[in-house]
Amino acid sequence: MRLQKPFTLHTIVGLLVLAVSIHSQALPPQPNVCQQPPSRSALIRIGDWIYRNECNRQRQCLVDWNQGESFPSLGIGHFIWYPANLDQGYTESFPQLIQYLRSRNAPIPKWLERLHPFDAPWPNRNEFIGSANSENIEILRQFLEQHTAEQTEFMMQRLQLALPRLVEHTAPPQRRTLLQKLDALCNTSRGWYGLIDYVNFKGEGLTAGETYQGQGWGLLQVLQNMDESSSPNDAFAQSAANILTRRAALAPKPIEQQKWLPGWLKRVNSYRGEAMLD
């Protein structure tokens, strides 16, 4: 039997370089979209508007469990946190937020650090309501109140990570139009506000779990259905209203159409106009 020569270090390095080169050539170029982010002051205003949308700027709402939902929502963006053994298909964003805050050296509450696995410790809404005034919840509420700027940065990061995926999930003939819509929206702080708020509010629109009867309601669907004859912000707001109205009509739970839809429509109506956020 003929023995093969062992690989030398030089050979291994050469193969690794070749593999990286081939991989980089195979990757499609990343789209240049919304490259100029909003200013720091605009981002602070955007975060405050999102806090208003989710909580009417009420501190108590920073740790909350909405009626009709199977999970609590936390922070200025009402980030989802699932109890153990629950996954409803929506993006679970609160654990991601905590990872982001940890990377920013924020002092994570000790009781959160002790959770293994990192699941919401209340199995249902009744259990949560019974603990609503507990020391742990107050500590968490105070922590979230003290780190609103970082939460806004996290939402901005989520949008920036989502945009290339939206382009990739768009058929090549429609990509140019999608990029033009995004560039137009990113020309104003109100356009940025709409994009950041909506992707945090209703997701990217890329998962099968975020559909009713095959119809999605995420940011991708809103962008795809924008009327190009209107001003970008107005077209985005109207498309969002249409998509959410369709979602509520297809929803298995009447609460979406009877209770939630009016608030949703009021929220996306705030995306209209060209004026700076106040």
Q: pLDDT by residue (tens digit) across 153-177?
A: 999 999 999 999 999 999 999 999 9
Instruction: Supply the range of the domain harboring residue 44.
Output: 40-269
Number of domains in the chain: 1
- Closest by CA to 81, choosing from 99, 55, 102, 59, is 99
Question: Is residue 238 assigned to a domain?
Answer: yes
What does the pLDDT read at residue 197?
97
Q: In this predicted structure, which of 154-163, 172-181, 253-262, 269-278 has the lowest mean pLDDT?
A: 269-278
Backbone angles phi, psi at 144, to 5 degrees: -65, -35
**Which of the pair, 105 or 209, is modelled with greater confidence?**
105
% of the chain exceeding 90 in pLDDT: 79
Is there a contact between 64 and 78 (Cβ–Cβ < 8 Å)?
yes
Question: Is residue 235 assigned to a domain?
Answer: yes
pLDDT grade for 208, boundaries at 50, 70 and 90 = confident
When pLDDT is averaged across residues 138-158 and rounded to a whole number, the result is 97
When pLDDT is averaged across residues 232-239 and rounded to a whole number, the result is 97
- Closest by CA to 203, choosing from 240, 250, 252, is 240
Question: Is residue 160 assigned to a domain?
Answer: yes
Q: What is the pTM of this model?
A: 0.84
Sheet of 63-64: strands edge to edge?
63-64, 73-74, 79-80
**For the CA atoms of the chain, what is the radius of gyration?**
22
Question: Is residue 11 assigned to a domain?
Answer: no
**Residue 10 pLDDT > 90:** no
Question: Is residue 277 assigned to a domain?
Answer: no
Question: Is residue 10 assigned to a domain?
Answer: no
**Which of the pair, 25 or 157, is modelled with greater confidence?**
157
Question: Is residue 108 assigned to a domain?
Answer: yes
Question: Is residue 132 assigned to a domain?
Answer: yes
**Residue 14 pLDDT > 70:** no
What does the pLDDT read at residue 31?
63
Distance CA 269, CA 93 (A): 24
Give me 209's structure tokens: 């779990």
What does the pLDDT read at residue 278?
57
Q: Which residue pairs, CB below 8 angstroms and at least 24 apart, start in 246-249?
A: 246/215, 246/217, 247/212, 247/215, 247/217
